[in-house]
Structures are given as structure tokens and as C-alpha cells.
Structure 1
């Protein structure tokens, strides 16, 4: 890898880390950047998963204390659900043919984007979510399976889940999303490090940028207006769904 490509991936990682924390769309930056420097789709996928662990590290090191001030039972349950789902997703990727699961990805991302657009209505409809925490946990396991398997758009799915099925404000939902996806990515990354075709120089460059971008994310998102940001993220998610469908 040339110095110019390394620098390009650091810059792309910073954008992925910052955008990923704010919007949940990190892979819309990081995955194409890895393809652009010549990685195969599978190598880019596993390298991307390894790199994005740094987003969760950066964001939680910046505002981890804010998470502990929230619902700790939800936090622990979500962490376990993410661990289980990420493990299953990594195993599926390592044992199944490439692309076996990707056909449904654009529809899942589009569904999450629509859920964000309709979030105020859906949240009112789901006012009894406290009585059914298993619905939130089951959905998080499923999304974490996808996150461990492929990951593009998983952030927006978790963000939509948090905003619809919990009473968390946008900034805390974004922080929780980074933690849960970070756990799913970490357990998947361990498997990919051992069994997957990780490009280590690309992973290092991307991770450096992701760490810095993830660290910068929490103070930025606290200062952004929640309503317009939610709509912008949803539009970005629909664009990602179209890109995933036609690529």
C-alpha cells in the first residue's frame, strides 16, 4: 500500500467515524473507500468490520459516562444481545457463500430509513415498549447478526430501533448505537482476524481515522437539531439502500 493510499484511508476513516456516529452510516464512506484502493468485496467487508471497532472505542471514550447515567438494565441487555448477534453474523459470513445474505440488505436499510422518517408516529404507537423489552432485545440481536455479517447500514437500523422502541433522545440513542455496534463489530472482528482475509495496512489506516472521528462525534451530535438531523439521516439511509441495490 502506497503512502498516498494510507493517507486516503485515514481521511476516509475519519469521515466514516464522524458520519457513522452522527448518522449510523459509517460504511457508506468506509466500504467504498476500501474498494477504491483495490480490495476485493470480501476483503473490504472484513477489513471494514475490523476498522469500525475504533468508532465505538472513540465515541465511548469521549462520552461513556453518559451511558452509565441511563438505563443500565437496557445497557447490559443490549450489550449481551449485540455480543450474541455479532457472533452469529460472523459465523454465517465465514461459513456461507459470498452474497448469500446481501440480497435483503437494501430492503432492511430502506425499512430503517422509513422508520426514522416516521419515528414520531411510531414512537407514539409503541408507547407500551417498556412492558415488552424482549421485542427490543430480539430486534437488536437480529440487527447485530447482520452487523457481524456485512454491516453497511446496521447503524441506521439500530438508531431507528432506539428511537422507535425506547424513550432515549437522539444523542443518547446515537451513543448507545455506537456501543452496541462496537460490541457486534468487535466479536465479529476477532473471528475475521483469525479466519478472514483482513488487509492489515488498510485496517490500520482506516482504524486511525475511525478512532478520531468517533471521538469527535458525541460533542458534535449534541449540538445538532434532532428533528432535521433525523430527517437527513433517513434520506441518507434511503440513498444507501438504493446504492446497495444497484451496486
Structure 2
């Protein structure tokens, strides 16, 4: 990795850390950036996951005020996130790499669609939130487990998925839902990172650059990101996602 490529990866990490704290989908920036600088897609996914862990932590810490009173349910759901992440990480490492290259463009496309429809999704969730279970119930746990599998395999837009799930089943405000999403995303990324460090191929320079950027980005996202115009943020994520699909399919 050349110095300029390292700077580009670090800058992508800043953007990803900030976006993950506010919306989710930061991997739609860092993953294609790593692929663009020549990192193998599976290694890029693994290295990106590990590198984003510090940013996930700073993003969750920045929402600590909204986390008050959520400890018990986050402990329960966190177990589902951890188990799902382990399964997803194992699938990434066991399945043929060609499967990853086929599946990931589809996952990115789905993630982009989720980012686009999120405003309408949030409106639908708000309309039915009055009937939601106060603690989510078993269906939410299973949904979080499934999101953990997705996050362990390929984490882009797992935050959007989690916001949709938590908003559907919890009788709580969107900011507290977003705070819970940050904690669960942290658990997924950290669990997968431990697995990958033990048995997966890793580009440690990529990890370092993503981690440096994402740590700063997590703080910025928690403090400043909520003031950014949401349409601009979504448009940027979708453009990067489309570029990633083109790169993976035709590159």
C-alpha cells in the first residue's frame, strides 16, 4: 500500500466511522476503497471489519446518554448478536471465495435500497410503535441474531437492518434505538474480529489505516453527524455502493 493509498483508506475510515455512528453502512465506503487499492475482497472484508471496531466503540460511547436504562435488554440481544456474528464469520471463511464475490454485490445492492427507503421505513415504524413489545420479545432476538449473521459475513448496512428491527419491536425513541444499534453493531464487529484475528488472512496496514480513521470518525459522527442533511448522506452512500458493485462485477 502506497502512502497515498494509505491516506485514502484512512479518510474512508473517518467517513465510515462517522456514518456508522449516525446511520450505519460505513462499510460501503471502506470496503470498496480497500478493494480499489488492491486488497483481495475477502481479505478486505476481514481487515475492514477489524479496523472498524474502534470506530464502533467511539460511536457507541458518543451515544452513552441515550443508552441509560437499556442495559438488560442489550445484554439479552447482545448474546444474539455475538452468536450470529460467529456464524456469519465462519460462513465467510468456510464458503468458497467465489461465493463471496457473487453474493457481496447483491448484499451491497440490498443495502443501498435499504438506505434509500429508510425514511419511509422509519415513518412506518413510528406508526406502529405504539403496539410494540417493551422489551422486543423472542422475535426481536431472532431478528438480531439474523442481523448478526449478516454482519459477521458482510457488515455493510447492518446498522440500517438493526434500526429497522429495533424500531419495529421496541417502544422507544429513534435516538435511543440508534444508541442500541451502535452497541449491537460493536458486539457484532468485535466478535467477528476476534474470530478473524485467530484464523483469517489479514492486511494489518489496512486494519491500521481504517482503525485510525474510524476512531476519529466515530467521535465526529456522534457529535456532528446528526446535524448533517440526511438526503445528502444517503445519496453519498448509494453512490459509493453503486461504484462498489461496478468494481466487483466488472473490475
Q: How far does the alpha carbon of each residue in 1:37-56 deviate from its partner, in whole angstroms, 9 at most, with x for none?
A: 21011111111111111121
Gapped regions of structure 1 (runs ≥ 5): none
160-169 or 74-83, which deviates more: 160-169
Distance in 1 separating the partners of 2:245 and 2:37: 22
Please provide the CA RMSD for this pair: 2.6
Equivalent residue of 2:133, what SS? helix
Match of 1:178 in 2: 182
Match of 2:153 in 1: 149
Match of 1:58 in 2: 58
Distance in 2 separating the partners of 1:200 and 1:14: 17
Gapped regions of structure 2 (runs ≥ 5): none
107-116 or 76-85, which deviates more: 107-116
Equivalent residue of 2:38, what SS? coil
Distance in 2 separating the partners of 1:111 and 1:10: 26
Change (3 A) 1:73 1:104: farther
Does the aligned pair in 1 maintain the 2:108–2:241 contact within 8 Å?
A: yes
Match of 1:158 in 2: 162
Does the aligned pair in 1 maintain the 2:18–2:225 contact within 8 Å?
A: no
What is the CA-CA distance between 1:115 and the residue it aligns to?
5.2
Equivalent residue of 1:25, what SS? coil
Matched, 1:189 2:190: no
Distance in 1 separating the partners of 2:106 and 2:129: 25
Matched, 1:86 2:90: no
Change (3 A) 1:240 1:143: farther
TM-score norm. by structure 2 comes to: 0.83
Match of 1:124 in 2: 127
Distance in 2 separating the partners of 1:142 and 1:240: 25
Equivalent residue of 1:198, what SS? coil
Does the aligned pair in 2 maintain the 1:21–1:214 contact within 8 Å?
A: yes
Distance in 2 separating the partners of 1:240 and 1:164: 28
Matched, 1:18 2:18: yes
Does the aligned pair in 1 maintain the 2:27–2:48 contact within 8 Å?
A: yes
Equivalent residue of 1:130, what SS? coil
Distance in 2 separating the partners of 1:24 and 1:127: 25
Equivalent residue of 2:201, what SS? coil
What is the CA-CA distance between 1:213 and the residue it aligns to?
0.5
Distance in 1 separating the partners of 2:104 and 2:9: 25
153-162 or 133-142, which deviates more: 153-162
Change (3 A) 1:202 1:107: closer
What is the CA-CA distance between 1:201 and the residue it aligns to?
0.8
Distance in 2 separating the partners of 1:63 and 1:111: 23
